[in-house]
Amino acid sequence: MKQLLLLLFLLPLLASAQLRDDFTDGNFTANPTWTGDASSFQVAAQQLQSNGPAVTGTAIQLSTPSQASTGTVWEFWANLKLATSSGNLADVWLMASQADLKNPNNSGYFVRLGGTDDEVSLFRKDSTRAAVLVVDGLNGTLASLTNNLVRVRVTRSTANRWTLERDLSGGRTFVAEAAQPIDATYQRSVALGVSLLYSLANNRSFYFDDFAVTDATAPLLLRAVPVDSRQVNVAFNETLDPASATILANYRLQNGAVPTTAQVLSNNPAVVRLTFAADFTTTNVLEVRNMADLFGNVAAGPLTAAFAGPPVAPQVGDLLITEIFADETPQIGLPLSEYIEIYNRSATRVISLGGVRLGKGGTTTVAVLPDTARLLPGQYAIVCGSTRVLQFAGYGKVYGPTNFPSLSNGGDQLVLRGRDGRTLFEVTYSDSWYRDARKKDGGWSLEMIDTNNYCAGANNWIASSDPIGGTPARANSARAANPDARAPTLLRALALNATTVRAYFSEKLDSTTAATLSRYGLSPATTITRAAPVAPDFRQVDLTLAAPLTASRPLTLAVQTATDCVGNASGPLQSATFALPEAAVSGDVVINELLFNPRVGAVRFVELLNRSPKYLNLQGWQFLRGRVNGKATATQLTSGPLVMAPGQVLAFTTDVASIQAQYPTSHDPANLVEVASLPSFADVDTVFLLNGSGMELDRLAYSKKLHLSLLSTQEGVSLERIRTSGASLGSNFHSAAGAVGYATPGRPNSQAQDELGGNQELTVTPEIFTPDDDGQQDFTTLNFHLDQPGYVATVTVYDALGRLTRRLVRNETLPTTGFVQWDGIDDRGRKAAVGYYILLVELFRPSSGEKREYKKTVVLGARF
């Protein structure tokens, strides 16, 4: 029998308890009623005692209804008359989501007595996951082999702060654990109880008594969330007394409105849905009075909660994609599933996500968010595949629409559109945005840095720095101020067809102001009838003309002002020249420079020259390596429009940044074009240029032997065309000059020599040359202008003493005009000595037997 003194001591506490059981009635079947493995328990000497099967590994449980949650104190007495271990322990559940405590889906909080560390600790259970330690008790507090007596008190404040206390004498002189963490994961409970695990000798060694659950705090109003224009969900910190929760007079808006209905939600009795007769205003404040919980605690009030007006459709700049998890492996900590994070940037508006569509550029398949979906001001949500929702449920709000797009690891274009099809947000990401080679390989998300700079691209994104690899449904780890202070610039203009001109800008424009006709003008004067920003990224504007353009007739587009999507406006007038392109024929565009053997770690490039008077569109053109036999693989220059002006050069490479780094002073960034791939050119090969229909426009058969033999290395040295109008033959190419860094991508060739010597039959240009690879007279050319075709030539170089130095040409058929170059190298591959040399030219016409012989003098000099 329990001591009377102890009973009298506890009476003041137990009198206010919402649940208590000291088993003085001799049973656990009433007042309150415990259920579960009833046959495995008994009441002996007014204490609850285990009495299960004597089988090692047996787990038994007993529970009783309890809805107490926050602002609650739990107490119980226990004695484990055994040596605790991982196979002999007791879990006393304070809050459980199910009456069956052994159900693996159960969630809530429990106190563990014993275990491997022989301690008293507080745990949280998240459904099927392993229990999470909330308060780690002092090890060895339950170290007896036969008598582990303890009284435990757990307090959860209304602010969700937990305190764990114990008295190892079974009395009430409690000692608190130092840790008092905040954990608000679970706000509802259906049961309290005990769950035991034991070995065969300990089936009757667990004793419990004096269970008491006390909630002496009034309910708190947490928030008010609008459902639609006239309904609002009012959330409290605990389950409410339905009688007080449904009294209409207990609620009012500060504007005086009283609800017409008040309904406690069946799936969450801590939430009341109020319906009002009129629509909510933009900002609202709800007052609540005389609200009671299940235990009779009344909040006189007024309790207040502010909430925004009804959910509204998002506008441009409201709804953003702020995180992208495209490469989920290797696993760092996040689930092995792709996701994006969306964010309501508005500070006041609740966004309705109903009908919002997520898609990829170039595809028609979209994922549509449900009509019930919404985001509060400043709230985040995860969007993932419909079968992956449970993986992210523990992180926050999550939506799993069907047709969630597969995210490419290397990069993709993602677009959010409203129900009406308007573009709300667009981002074209790349794995280069990680700025971290290790994180680029997978397991880490990309995060937006500054949500106020949402139009920006690579400079406003970076790899997450969160230890788990990302921050789904919460503020980004990379979050920082990163404002856009730059105004947009006009990059170029392009005639898409005879009546449409597309203007390209450096960043996303404000689509409304970009449609203002008065911002654009053409010279010579041409009427513009419409300006249409191009979705989804709004970096281009299509201008419709009143009259068709004439092919290859240049015009200048002037833009008075361009405003980007965050409001930065350009200053002075900007302009770009363009013309309607026409079709190219063979020889219009030629290979002008080729780097086939780049330095280690660098990349190749092929430069083209438009030597025609036409404007030419390169869309769909291709480079081909080797013979055109249908088996070779072509690489495309561009899938979109790309126009070359007359005389323009463009250098194509797989990495523009690498070319700029390799040739920092000899490139022109405006004429560098990055392509997905280029052929892997060999040391001896042929480059073909094809148009979009596969017609050959030019070809160059080259060899590393074309390079100046005096070079210490050929790596990183390009071959440059000498004569613009000359044939695409090896004899018309020479190594780029060392003085310019051995290549001129996007710039005029260092070895260009277009002076033909007039109409004289034979001329030498220059007459004095210095083959030192400085780009100044590095070679000399024997230029010929013959009176008729059919000549066969032999050209030989002799020194001033008449000794053979170099055989340049042997019995080669010549065109009527052209040249032969000498780079100052003799037949043994060595640089010839400084001095005078004779070029002996022998011409023969087989058809008539006519022979001619000429001698031209040239000086091989040197710079001192």
Q: Are 366 and 423 in contact (CB under 8 A)?
A: no
Q: Which residues, 6+ apart, have CB-to-CB distance to 775 below 8 Å?
A: 736, 737, 738, 739, 740, 750, 751
d(CA 28, CA 63): 10
Alpha-carbon 167 to chain mean position: 54
Say if residues 340 and 471 touch (Cβ distance below 8 Å). no
Has residue 756 been placed in a domain? no
Is the same domain home to 455 and 544? no
Residues 520-537 pLDDT 10s: 999 999 999 999 999 898
> In this predicted model, what pLDDT tens digit does every residue of 747-761 receive, in sequence order?
999 888 765 545 568
Query: What is the spatial distance between Cα 724 and Cα 752, in angstroms, rounded to a whole number?
Result: 8
Answer whether residue 471 is part of any domain.
no
Q: What is the DSSP letter of 337?
A: S
Question: Given the DSSP bridges, would you call strands 357-360 and 366-368 parallel, antiparallel or unpaired?
Answer: antiparallel
Same domain, 121 and 190: yes
- pTM higher than 0.85 for the full model? no
Could you give the CA distance from residue 44 to residue 212 in angstroms, rounded to a whole number?
A: 19
**Does 303 lie in the same domain as 323?**
no
Containing domain of residue 280, as a range? 221-308
Q: What pLDDT, on a 0 to 100 scale, did the predictor assign at position 629?
A: 52
Residue 469, in any domain of the structure: no
Q: Which of 428, 463, 498 is where one domain is finished?
A: 463
- For residue 785, list its beta bridge partners: 817
670: left (phi over 0), alpha (psi -120 to 50) or beta: alpha
**What whole-number distance in Å separates Cα of residue 195 and Cα of residue 111?**
10
Closest CA to 813 of 721, 704, 727, 700: 727
Q: What is the pLDDT of residues 422-447, one digit of tens each?
A: 999 999 999 999 999 999 999 999 99
For strands 835-845 and 850-860, give the pairing: antiparallel
Residue 456 lies in a domain: yes
Evaluate whether residue 552 is within a structural domain.
yes
Question: In this structure, are 637 and 701 located in the same domain?
Answer: yes
Closest CA to 859 of 747, 777, 796: 777
Domain identity same for 396 and 516: no
In a domain, 755, yes or no: no
User: What CATH number is attached to the domain comprising 409?
Assistant: 2.60.40.1260
Which residues, at least 6 apart from 460, have a Cβ–Cβ distance to it below 8 Å?
A: 448, 449, 450, 453, 454, 482, 484
Distance, in Å, from the CA atom of 296 to the CA atom of 602, rounded to the nearest integer, reads 77
Q: Are residues 81 and 210 in the same domain?
A: yes
Q: Average pLDDT for residues 269-276, to the nearest whole number?
A: 95
Is there a single domain that holds both residue 335 and residue 455?
A: yes
* pLDDT at residue 699, as a whole number: 94
The tens digit of pLDDT for each residue in 162-216 reads 999 999 999 999 999 999 999 999 988 999 999 999 999 999 999 999 999 998 8
Q: Are residues 180 and 270 in the same domain?
A: no
As a whole number of angstroms, the distance between CA 734 and CA 717 comes to: 10
Is 473 exposed, middle or buried, given 0-12, 13-18 or 19+ CB atoms closer than 10 A? buried
Q: Are residues 453 and 496 in the same domain?
A: no
Residue 626's pLDDT is: 73
Ranking 85-89, 400-404, 635-639, 647-651 by mean pLDDT, the lowest is: 635-639
Number of structural domains (the chain) is 6
Residue 584 lies in a domain: no
Do you find a cis peptide bond into 53, omega within 30 degrees of 0? no
Residue finishing a domain among 706, 740, 774 = 740
Q: What is the CATH number of the domain that holds 777?
A: 2.60.40.4070
Query: Of the candidates 277, 308, 339, which is a domain's last residue?
Result: 308
- Name the pLDDT band for 16 (thresholds 50, 70, 90): very low
Q: Specify whether 211 is located in the same domain as 231.
A: no
Average pLDDT over every residue of 667-693: 91
Residue 454, Cβ density class (10 Å: 0-12 exposed, 13-18 middle, ≥19 buried): buried
145 and 210, same domain (yes or no): yes
**Does 5 have pLDDT greater than 80?**
no
Cα(455)–Cα(461) distance, integer angstroms: 11
Same domain membership, residue 518 and residue 371? no
CA distances from 243 to 239, 262, 299, 411 (A): 12, 11, 14, 57
Pick the most confident of 273-277, 534-538, 816-820. 273-277
Task: Please state the length of the chain.
Answer: 864
Q: Per the domain annotation, does 479 fall within a domain?
A: no
CATH number of residue 272's parent domain: 2.60.40.1220
| CA pseudo-torsion sign 796, 797, 802, 804 | negative
Cβ-Cβ contacts under 8 Å for 241 (sequence gap 6 or more): 292, 293, 294, 296
| Higher pLDDT, residue 628 or 456 | 456
